[in-house]
Amino acid sequence: MRPWSDRPIQDCLESLEHLPPQLFRIEPHPYASIGAPYGPGRDPFRLRSGVVRRLLEAQDQLCSHAPELQFAIFDAWRPISVQAFMVNYTIDQLCRERGVERHDPAQQAALHQVEADVARFWASPSRNPETPPPHSTGAAVDLTLATGTGALLQMGGDIDAIGAVSEPNYYANATKPEAQMFHQRRDLLRSVMASAGFIQHPNEWWHYSYGDQLWAWRSGAECAIYAEAGSRSATA
């Protein structure tokens, strides 16, 4: 359970919309390219209509502050089957990095630590309608900054990196010029997204949402307005 999991949801039933062409996408899609099971015709570059509108507003704010920059969309809507695939994939990757054998009884303590570290960044693929993963609602987007030609800016840590470097304020007290630049870029992204009503995940510099339970918790809203977007009413 997350601190925001107890927020009630009253779905406003907005549709999922394809991201418009003025929002640059990182392609091939990073999860689809490793075999995540989206299924035929299930475009991950979709968000609820109100979220798309706010994302365009935020990019307008970015252009007014830094005309040479644009958003680069890493990931958007994520069905729960993909969430489950990616949680398992990330655990496998981290186990390999740390030399942990998942099925070795002698390494269960190390495995539990890997699972706990992954859980700080990856929501459980819950099928409970009261606790949907943020991306599965169509309310959350992972993004970064890019030049007008699509070159990604260095932000001081990769999207989906497991560790403290992913925390939004990791470089807040930096003294080296490059690290200060990373903080300024993260802060610019946070500022323009906040101007359109988005909130930031407390552990991830790249993750923003509007309308889900995390947003309700951090914004003080009485309830979330987006449930899991897998039903006909949410995707029509």
Q: Is 17 an active-site residue?
A: no
Confidence (pLDDT) at 232: 37
Q: Are 143 and 71 in contact (CB under 8 A)?
A: yes
**In the predicted structure, residue 91 carries a pLDDT above the cut 50:** yes
Find the catalytic residue in 101, 167, 204, 222: 204
Q: Tell me the pLDDT tens digit for each residue of 5-35.
A: 999 999 999 999 999 999 999 999 999 999 9
Query: Per-residue pLDDT averaged across 41-48, rounded?
Result: 92
Q: Tell me the pLDDT tens digit for each residue of 166-211.
A: 999 999 999 999 999 999 999 999 999 999 999 999 999 999 999 9
**In the predicted structure, residue 234 carries a pLDDT above the cut 60:** no
Domains and CATH numbers, the chain: 16-80+132-235 (3.30.1380)
Q: Are 213 and 182 in contact (CB under 8 A)?
A: no
Q: What is the pTM of this model?
A: 0.95
Confidence (pLDDT) at 42: 84
